[in-house]
Structure formats: structure tokens, C-alpha cells
């Protein structure tokens, strides 16, 4: 064991290589016409994410300190128009993401906005009950429309109107729909058959009809020729979005029949039930209803908006929990369409807002995926390579804790609903992300929220330990899942079958369990602590397990009998995490008292070490580097790396902006994940070896460059030497070169050849000429060196002589072009005056020597011979 440890390279640097950030906190969301960018509001800012490149953040359009209330992408896709609570309208270029213009539009917040088909006008609807139309090029108001008695909730331009015949439709909180003829500058119709706020407007494909969706649970159909109500379609749910499907769209209805919208116009609705529904426009019959989402938690999540993208056959749903799902309409007439494929297939799921990340764990044999528990009843499963996300619904309460088996095929989830669920992860490469995780078992028996779960650490986990706020521990028998685990391990190691056959066999077992999840049996229940149990860890040999509690103690338990064998006391606050060393009989604990402690399990639980350095509670720890180092995270938003032998903290990182709760380290320790109160999931990479190689390369290069500089000076190739010193940013070497040239100078060389010539300042005319021909960038760097040299009296002479050469050689106009000229001269002048005063004082004092010598010349010389 000792030889193994001695051969391990200690880590020193982890760097964040990716961050899964929140991009949407409610409000407006939309996709550009080309389908490339997802644009979302996030407080006072607007976030632009690339849908074609793993949702990478392309731009963050800075706000004006007030929340963005709405925005619209112009139909030409070239510009974005945003409006904030400050009533300021801003126009952004979607190629450069630069602000083009901004102007004030209303006296109250703008709640609705729409752009005309020509992309030259936008209409804004405000809480001040008015609708205004704006010319974007001239930044002036063309129309101010009054008549509504409530705030404006929806706007829509007539798709086939243009020029002087533009028609605008507005919906309001007063439950009316108004038709505005912009050419005549008046309202031509008022439709009053709704009884609640209007939430959606759209025109039929031929624009002969208008549909309006309201929170009064109805869709009204209006004849655009007569402006009369044609019919009312009851939807039995409050609506947030309505719209027509494009003609030519083919899909399969609930009866399995193929529907073509060219022959049969179809419109969709979405609202409080969280479902997309398709309706036959002529018969008003509901022909397709998306499967109802599984109800989790106390609050049902509803659809707040639907973005229709006909060219890609996609409908994008925006949910009230800030999640966005791209649904693709399956074409039943295509060659690869299966009979059992759903009509709407989720192809992209976006977790708009992660809330507070509580726990995270790697899953899958290759650990390319991670399960995240946030302040929600839904789990998030991330593909860490593509950054895609899917949601796992099961629990009725907030998910609090996670753990995965050593093989990472199974993971367990503890929740506030007092239950634990066990999930199987399908590692087959061709499995869609939303079909990778299946709940295969549940544990019911705790009476309060589950605070921690821990699997046995063997290759095949035989048991699961759980604990929580009911202060009890339960051991659960995983015997019914052994066949599934053994099949997975056999599939990884069996070479007699093809990989496809092995995977298929494992998938069949998982599918049977997922169809009817098992109820696991508790092997024992123990009253463990006086307060909530925060953490459970199982020893590597599966013989012991440890618990940490808010009662400030950690305890060691026998896995077989459930008896407490050791109690560890010493922390002054609750224990947040316990962790066994992978190689020694040592337990690490971290606490709210800002410390980490190491305990020996051999001699009755003596405390071996205490690590201090966090400024707030330490909430999570992990052993790395064969037990030689610890990684810790805390409420102070810091991530720290500790070397146990030397007690040194070798790394402190503050990349998070709020408390860090979650920490997971990959099996190979080359990567780790952290998450916390800032809603960011950060992926870190071990850069120790790379950094050591870089430092070694830099040292070799530095030695070679210094030797080159010395060789150039010896060869009196001053131009190359000075240029190289400036290029390599070596002020010390450059000062040494100039000092050496000055000290070796011939006094006769400093005098000018002619009376009108400039004297040589640095002792060699060639050096003065080199400085007189530097580029602006080189001059800027040289002046920064002079500024630093001038602060030291020993270096001031060379600094001022070099400065004098620059002033003699360049015009003031040229010097003003230098980047840092203003700040440099402000730093040079005070020290130059100080050096001048010092030299002037020395010169004044030197006159006393002259006076003394002159006075001494009048004394009678002492004649020693005469004296005798």
C-alpha cells in the first residue's frame, strides 16, 4: 500500500472546463427563424444559446438594470427587439449582438410585442392600456391606439396585410379583441365574447378566420370578413397559447389515423394541463392530446407558451417550471416511421433554471452522464458531452440526495416524500437520452424526509442504507436486483456473445422491472441519532458504514447487525458529510464548524488531523489520489484541495458565487462536478500533469532565451537583444543589457560629433538608434518598464536616460498614440521630480566641497624643515 501511494502523482490544479448554467428564469422565450439560436430572458439580461452546438452560450445581452418584460425576433431574423420594465425599447443586431438603438416607448411596462411581416414596424402593448406602433429605422411612433380598458396581453399582425392596409389585432385583460386598421388609424371591430384575459391569437392559413384563446377555457373563432363570432370551442382548461398548424403537415391522431392539414385545418392549444392538444377546425373535435405529464409535487406545471416551427415540424413548449422542450411531429408516411412511435417526440429538453443544486452523481460505466438533484421534485439527467438534458419524474417531493453503485449502473434517489427510488441506467450508445433511466425499485418505510442514501461498494451492490429526518437507519435488500446487476457486469466482460446481444439481454431484464418497480424489503431499522441524519457512507469492504448527523457526532455501524461500534465526537456543529478513505482505516468528516477532521478507526476513534481554512460550513468532501488528498466544498462558495500528509491546502477556487452543496468525482479522478446555490453545474478537469509539463516547457524556454540574450549582448547585436527582451517581456534582462552598455561606454562616444547633434545618452549611438525605431507596442511596453525602474533610485539613471532617448526621438503627437501613455506619464512625473530634487541636493552639497578646498588654499603650508 505504501509503495502504491509513493508512486501516485499528487494533484495540484483542477480547472473548470464547462459550466451548465441557468439560461431562463421565466418570461419570454423564442427561437430564431433559422432554428439556430434559442433566446431567453434571464432577469434584466437576454441570453442567446446555440441550439446546434450543445446549447453553448453565444451572447449575453446586458440589460438596463430592470427586468426584460418581453421581446420579439423580427421575421427576417436579423434583429431582436427587447423591452424592459424601464419602458425602454432596444434593437439588437443578431449577427454582431451589438445594440443598434434604444428609445422609450410607454409610461407603464410593456407586456406584449409583435413585428409586422416587413420587419420595419413593431407594435407594443402596455399596462397603460394603449397599443403603439413604432418605426424601427426612424425610432418614432407611427400610431397610438386607445380603447382597451385593461392591460394589453396579446398582439398579432395580419400575415397578409402590408403597406397602407396593415391590420393589427390586440387582446386585453378586459376580455376583448380589437381589430385595428392602421391605414385608417382606427379600430374597425371589437369582439366581446370572452369573459377572461386573452392569451393567444392566430390567423387561419388563408387568413379568413382568427382564433383567440382565453383563460375562460374557450377558443373563439372569428370571421375576418364580418368580424363576427363564427363559433366557440370549449377546451376545459385555461389557455396560454393557440395557433394553426401549417398546411401540408401530416401526423397520426389519437385513433391512429393519418391526418393531413391541407385537407383538414388543425389548430393547437396549450395551457394549465401541460398538454399540447390538436383540434379539427371544422368539426371542433379534439383529435389528438399529448399524454398528460406525471403529476409530481404539490404544484402542477403548465405550458406558458408554444413556439411553432413549421419548417422543422417542431412545436416547442415553454413550461412554468422554466423548462423548455422541443417536440417533433412524427410523419407516419415516412419510410422509417414505426407504427408505435408517438405523434410528438421530444428531441431536445432544456433545463432553463436549475434552482439550487443539492446533489450530483456520475452514472453509467463510462461516467459520461450525471444525475442532478435541484430544489425540485424532478431529477435532471445530463449528457456531459452534448450537454443535453432530460427530466426524470417519480417523486412527489423535493429530491434531496443521490448515490450510485460502484459500476454506476444503478443510482438511488431520496426525497422529501419519505421514499427512496432505485433507477437503472441504460448504457447502450444508441439509446435516446430520455429513455436511458428507468425506476426499477422503491423503498417505503421512513416517516420523514430522506437525507442520505448509500449503496454497498462492491461491484454488485447487495444492499442500500438510507437515513433522514426521522433519525432512523434502514438497510434494504437489493437481492431482487442482483440479476440485473450481474447481467450488466457479464455483458461488459463476456466475449462469447456480441455486444448487441449482451446489451439486449440486460435491457430485457431492466424493462421488466421498470414496467412494475419492485418494493424492496428492509433488513433492519435502527434509531441512530438524536437529530437529522445528513450523510451515510459505506466502507470499501462493505463491513461497516458511517453516519453523520446534526447532533454533532459521527457513528460507525456494523453492516451485518446494525449495531453502533464507535461514536466520534469533537465537532462543534452538525456533521454534514462522512467519507471512508479508499485505502486506510480512516474516516473523514466535515462540519458546520468550518473544519474537516480525520479519525482513526483502529484505536477507538482518535482524531488524527483537523483541517481549517474554510470561512463557513464545510458541506461535502471526497478522497482522491489514493487517499492522499481531500477535496472539500462549503457554504463560503470555495472548492479546496488538501494534501493530507503536509496539512497544506494546495488549491482554493472561487468560481462559484454561492454556497456549494454538490460534489462528485469521476472514478479516474480526471474530472469532477460541483453545484450549489448559484444554480450552476461546473465540470472540472485535473490539469496537474498538463500544468507541470507547461511549467517545465516554460523553464526550458526561459533558459534558452536567457542564453540567447546573453549571446546577443556578447556579440553586440543590441537590436536583436533589445527586441527579444521586449518580445519576451523581460524587463530585468533589458535593464541588465542597458546597464552593461552604459557601464562599458566610451566617454568620447557620448559627445555629439557636431554641435547640432543630439548627444548619445545610453553610451552607444546604435542603442539610441534602436530605441528611436521601436513600434508603438514596443514603446508602450518599454515605457511601462521605465515607469517601474523609475521607482528605484538604483535604476533611476537608466530609466531617465532611456526616457530622454524616447523624448528626443519621437514627436508628442506620436507618443500620444501609445495605449497607456496617460497612466504611464502620471506615474513617471512624481518619481522624476523626486529624483531631480535628490540630485539637486547632492549638487548643492558638492559646492561645500569646492568652497572648503578653495578656503584651504589660503593657509600657509606647513614647512617641516624650517620648523626644525
Domain assignment of residue 196, yes or no: no
**pLDDT above 90: percentage of residues in the chain:** 62
Q: Is the pLDDT of residue 864 over 60?
A: no
Q: What is the rounded average pLDDT of the residues 490-500?
A: 58
Question: What pLDDT, on the 0 to 100 scale, is given for residue 750?
Answer: 54
Looking at residues 94-108, what average pLDDT do you find?
94
Q: What is the pLDDT of residue 552?
A: 96
Q: Cα–chain-centroid distance for residue 780?
A: 37
**Range of lowest pLDDT (490-504, 514-528, 536-550, 688-702):** 490-504
d(CA 556, CA 538): 10
Alpha helical stretches, state H, 715-820 = 718-727, 731-743, 747-750, 765-771, 776-789, 796-809, 812-815
Three-state SS for 61-94 is ECCCCCCEEEEEECCCCCEEEEEECCCEEEEEEC
Higher pLDDT, 63 or 745: 63
* pLDDT digits 0-9 by tens, 215-255: 999 999 999 999 999 999 999 999 999 999 999 999 999 98
- For residues 609 and 540, membership in a common domain is answered with yes
Digit-coded pLDDT (tens) for 6-39 = 567 899 999 999 999 999 999 999 999 999 999 9
Other Cβ atoms less than 10 A from the Cβ of 764: the count is 20
Say if 708 falls within a structural domain. Answer: no
Of these ranges, 219-233, 254-268, 738-752, the one predicted with the greatest mean pLDDT is 219-233
pLDDT of residue 290: 92
Q: What is residue 5's predicted lDDT score, i.e. its pLDDT?
A: 54
Same domain, yes or no: 673 and 770 = no
* Residues 514, 534 contacting (CB under 8 angstroms): no
CB 101 within 8 A of CB 87: no
Rg (CA), the chain: 38
Q: What is the DSSP string of 519-555?
A: EPPEEEEEE--SS-EEEEEE-TTSSEEEEEETTSEEE
308-328 burial: b if 16+ Cβ within 10 Å, else e? bbeeebbbbbbbbbbbbbbbb
- Determine the pLDDT at residue 615: 95
Strand order in the sheet with 56-61: 29-31, 37-42, 45-50, 56-61
Return the exposure string of 479-506: e unless at least 16 CB atoms fall within 10 Å of the residue's CB, then b: eebeebbebbbebeeeeeeeeeebbebb
Q: Does any domain span residue 560?
A: yes
- Domain-embedded: residue 704: no
Residue 18 lies in a domain: no
At residue 339 the predicted structure's pLDDT band, cuts being 50, 70 and 90, is low
**Most confident of the following: 549-563, 736-750, 768-782:** 549-563
- C-alpha grid cell, residue 44: 434584466
Q: Taking 90 as the threshold, does the pLDDT of residue 604 lie above it?
A: no
Interval 96-112 mean pLDDT? 94
Last residue of a domain, one of 665, 684, 703: 684
Query: 46 forms bridges with which residues in the sheet?
Result: 41, 61
Instruction: Report the CATH number at residue 467.
Output: 2.130.10.10
pLDDT computed for residue 54 by the predictor: 83
- Which of 352, 380, 411 is the last residue before a domain boundary? 352
Please tell me the predicted confidence (pLDDT) of residue 497.
57
Task: Indicate whether 674 and 786 sit together in one domain.
Answer: no
Among 699-708, 808-817, 859-868, which stretch is predicted with the lowest mean pLDDT?
859-868
Say if residue 440 is in the same domain as residue 559.
yes
The reported pTM is 0.81
Q: Is residue 361 part of a domain?
A: yes
Question: What pLDDT, on the 0 to 100 scale, is given for residue 338?
Answer: 59
Q: In the predicted model, what is the mean pLDDT of residues 439-451?
A: 95
CA atoms of 291 and 273, how far apart (whole Å): 10
DSSP result, 135-195: ETTTTEEEEEEE--SS-EEEEEE-TT--GGG-EEEEEETTS-EEEEETTTTEEEEEE---S
Residue 746 confidence class, pLDDT cut points 50, 70, 90: low
Q: Domain count for the chain, please give it.
A: 3
Inside any domain, residue 673: yes
- CA distances 144 to 86, 90, 187, 272, 365, Å, are 19, 19, 11, 34, 63
Q: What is the mean pLDDT of the segment spanning 606-617?
A: 96
How confident is the prediction for the chain on average, in pLDDT?
Answer: 89
Average pLDDT over residues 564-583: 96
pLDDT given for residue 336 in this prediction: 64
Give the pLDDT score at 283: 94
Among the ranges given (50-54, 129-133, 497-501, 747-751), the one the predictor scored with the smallest mean pLDDT: 747-751
Q: Is the predicted pLDDT of residue 452 greater than 90, yes or no?
A: yes
pLDDT per residue as tens digits for the range 361-377: 999 989 999 999 998 89
Note the pLDDT of residue 293: 80
Per-residue confidence band for 493, with pLDDT thresholds at 50, 70 and 90 = low
Domain match, 329 and 398 both: no
Q: List, for residues 624-664, the tens digit of each pLDDT value.
A: 999 999 999 999 999 999 999 999 999 999 999 999 999 99
pLDDT in the model for residue 7: 67
750 against 202, higher pLDDT: 202
**Residue 509 pLDDT:** 79
pLDDT (tens digit per residue) in 159-197: 987 777 899 999 999 999 999 999 999 999 999 999 999
pLDDT at 295: 65
- Residue 298 above 70 pLDDT? no
| The predicted structure's pLDDT at residue 584 | 92
Quick one: 752 and 803 in the same domain?
A: yes
Q: pLDDT at position 500, please? A: 65
C-alpha torsion 634→640→642→647, nearest 10? -70
In a domain, 790, yes or no: yes
User: Which 3 state secondary structure label does DSSP give 643?
Assistant: strand
Handedness of CA 151, 154, 158, 162 (dihedral sign): positive
Q: Are residues 369 and 438 in the same domain?
A: yes
Last residue of a domain, one of 640, 666, 684: 684
**726 & 838 share domain:** yes
Q: Which three cell numbers stand for residue 273?
A: 394541463
Q: Are residues 327 and 447 both part of a single domain? A: no
Does the structure show a pLDDT above 80 at 45?
A: yes
- Asked whether residue 347 falls in the same domain as residue 369, the answer is no
Give the domain range for residue 259.
235-333+341-352
Based on the fold, state whether residues 642 and 667 are members of the same structural domain: yes
Is the same domain home to 634 and 731? no
Amino acid at each position: 500500500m505504501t509503495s502504491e501511494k509513493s508512486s501516485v502523482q499528487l494533484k495540484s490544479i483542477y480547472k473548470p472546463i464547462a459550466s451548465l448554467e441557468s439560461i431562463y428564469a421565466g418570461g419570454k422565450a423564442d427561437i430564431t427563424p433559422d432554428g439556430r439560436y434559442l433566446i431567453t430572458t434571464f432577469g434584466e439580461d437576454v441570453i442567446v444559446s446555440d441550439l446546434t452546438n450543445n446549447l453553448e452560450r453565444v451572447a449575453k445581452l446586458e440589460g438596463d438594470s430592470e427586468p426584460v418584460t418581453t421581446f420579439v425576433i423580427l421575421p427576417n431574423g436579423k434583429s431582436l427587439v427587447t423591452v424592459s420594465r424601464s419602458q425602454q425599447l432596444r434593437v439588437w443586431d443578431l449577427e454582431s449582438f451589438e445594440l443598434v438603438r434604444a428609445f422609450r416607448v410607454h409610461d407603464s411596462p410593456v407586456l406584449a410585442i409583435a413585428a409586422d411581416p416587413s420587419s420595419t414596424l413593431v407594435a407594443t402593448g402596455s399596462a397603460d392600456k394603449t397599443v403603439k406602433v413604432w418605426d424601427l429605422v426612424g425610432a418614432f411612433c407611427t400610431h397610438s391606439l386607445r380603447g382597451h380598458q385593461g392591460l394589453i396581453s396579446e398582439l398579432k399582425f395580419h400575415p397578409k396585410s402590408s403597406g397602407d392596409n396593415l391590420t393589427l389585432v390586440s387582446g386585453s385583460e378586459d376580455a376583448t379583441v380589437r381589430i385595428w386598421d392602421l391605414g385608417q388609424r382606427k379600430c374597425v371591430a371589437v369582439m366581446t365574447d370572452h369573459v377572461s384575459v386573452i392569451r393567444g391569437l392566430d390567423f387561419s392559413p388563408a387568413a379568413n378566420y382568427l382564433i383567440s384563446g382565453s383563460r375562460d377555457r374557450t377558443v373563439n373563432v372569428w370571421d375576418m370578413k364580418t368580424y363576427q363570432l363564427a363559433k366557440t370551442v370549449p377546451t376545459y382548461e385555461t389557455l396560454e397559447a393557440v395557433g394553426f398548424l401549417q398546411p401540408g403537415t401530416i401526423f397520426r391522431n389519437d385513433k391512429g389515423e393519418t391526418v393531413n392539414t391541407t385537407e383538414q385545418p388543425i389548430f393547437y392549444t396549450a395551457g394549465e394541463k401541460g398538454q399540447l392538444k390538436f383540434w379539427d377546425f371544422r368539426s371542433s373535435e379534439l383529435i389528438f392530446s399529448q399524454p398528460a405529464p406525471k403529476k409530481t409535487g404539490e404544484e402542477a406545471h403548465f405550458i406558458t407558451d408554444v413556439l411553432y416551427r413549421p419548417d422543422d415540424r417542431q412545436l416547442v413548449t415553454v413550461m412554468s417550471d422554466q423548462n423548455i422542450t422541443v417536440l417533433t411531429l412524427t410523419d407516419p408516411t415516412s419510410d422509417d416511421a414505426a407504427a408505435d412511435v408517438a405523434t410528438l417526440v421530444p428531441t431536445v429538453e432544456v433545463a432553463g433554471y436549475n434552482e439550487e443544486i443539492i446533489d450530483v452523481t456520475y452514472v453509467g460505466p463510462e461516467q459520461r452522464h450525471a444525475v442532478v438533484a435541484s430544489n425540485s421534485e424532478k431529477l435532471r439527467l445530463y449528457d456531459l458531452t452534448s450537454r443535453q438534458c432530460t427530466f426524470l419524474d417519480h417523486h412527489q417531493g423535493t429530491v434531496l440526495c443521490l448515490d450510485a453503485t460502484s459500476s454506476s449502473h444503478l443510482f438511488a434517489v431520496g426525497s422529501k416524500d419519505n421514499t427512496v427510488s432505485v433507477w437503472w441506467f441504460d448504457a447502450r450508445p444508441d439509446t435516446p437520452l430520455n429513455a436511458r433511466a428507468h425506476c426499477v425499485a422503491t423503498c417505503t418505510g421512513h416517516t420523514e424526509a430522506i437525507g442520505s442514501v448509500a449503496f454497498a461498494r462492491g461491484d454488485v451492490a447487495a444492499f442500500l442504507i438510507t437515513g433522514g429526518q426521522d433519525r432512523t437507519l434502514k438497510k434494504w435488500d437489493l437481492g431482487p436486483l442482483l440479476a440485473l446487476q450481474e447481467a450488466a457486469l457479464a455483458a461488459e466482460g463476456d466475449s462469447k456473445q456480441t455486444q448487441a446481444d449482451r446489451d439486449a439481454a440486460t435491457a430485457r431484464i431492466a424493462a421488466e422491472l421498470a414496467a412494475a418497480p419492485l418494493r424492496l424489503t428492509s433488513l433492519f431499522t435502527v434509531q441512530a441519532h438524536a437529530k437529522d441524519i445528513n450523510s451515510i457512507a459505506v466502507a470499501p469492504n462493505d463491513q461497516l458504514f458511517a453516519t453523520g448527523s446534526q447532533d454533532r457526532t459521527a457513528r460507525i455501524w456494523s453492516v451485518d447487525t446494525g449495531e453502533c461500534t464507535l461514536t466520534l465526537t469533537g465537532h462543534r456543529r452538525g456533521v454534514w458529510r462522512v467519507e471512508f478513505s479508499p485505502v486506510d482505516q480512516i474516516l473523514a468528516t466535515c462540519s458546520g464548524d468550518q473544519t474537516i477532521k480525520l479519525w482513526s478507526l483502529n484505536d477507538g476513534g482518535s482524531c488524527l488531523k483537523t483541517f481549517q481554512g474554510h470561512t463557513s460550513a464545510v458541506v461535502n468532501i471526497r478522497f482522491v489520489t489514493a487517499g492522499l488528498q481531500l477535496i472539500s466544498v462549503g457554504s463560503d462558495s470555495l472548492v479546496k484541495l488538501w494534501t493530507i500528509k503536509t496539512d497544506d491546502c494546495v488549491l482554493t477556487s472561487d468560481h462559484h458565487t454561492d454556497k456549494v452543496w454538490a460534489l462528485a468525482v469521476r472514478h479516474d479522478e480526471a474530472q469532477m462536478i460541483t453545484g450549489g446555490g448559484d444554480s450552476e453545474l461546473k465540470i472540472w478537469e485535473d490539469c496537474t500533469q498538463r500544468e507541470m509539463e507547461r511549467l517545465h516547457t516554460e523553464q526550458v524556454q526561459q533558459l534558452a532565451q536567457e542564453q540567447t540574450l546573453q549571446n546577443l549582448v556578447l556579440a553586440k547585436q543590441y537590436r536583436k537583444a533589445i527586441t527579444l527582451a521586449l518580445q519576451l517581456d523581460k524587463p530585468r534582462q533589458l535593464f541588465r543589457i542597458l546597464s552593461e552598455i552604459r557601464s562599458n561606454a566610451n566617454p568620447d562616444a557620448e559627445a555629439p560629433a557636431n554641435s547640432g547633434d543630439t548627444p548619445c545618452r545610453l553610451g552607444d549611438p546604435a542603442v539610441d538608434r534602436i530605441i528611436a525605431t521601436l513600434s508603438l507596442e514596443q514603446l508602450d511596453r518599454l515605457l511601462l518598464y521605465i515607469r517601474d525602474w523609475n521607482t528605484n533610485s538604483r535604476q533611476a539613471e537608466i530609466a531617465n536616460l532611456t526616457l530622454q532617448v524616447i523624448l528626443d526621438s519621437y514627436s508628442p503627437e506620436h507618443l500620444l498614440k501609445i495605449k497607456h501613455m496617460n497612466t504611464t506619464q502620471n506615474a513617471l512625473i512624481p518619481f522624476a521630480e523626486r529624483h531631480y530634487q535628490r540630485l539637486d541636493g547632492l549638487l548643492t552639497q558638492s559646492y561645500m566641497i569646492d568652497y572648503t578646498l578653495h578656503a584651504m588654499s589660503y593657509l600657509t603650508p606647513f614647512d617641516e624643515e624650517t620648523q626644525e
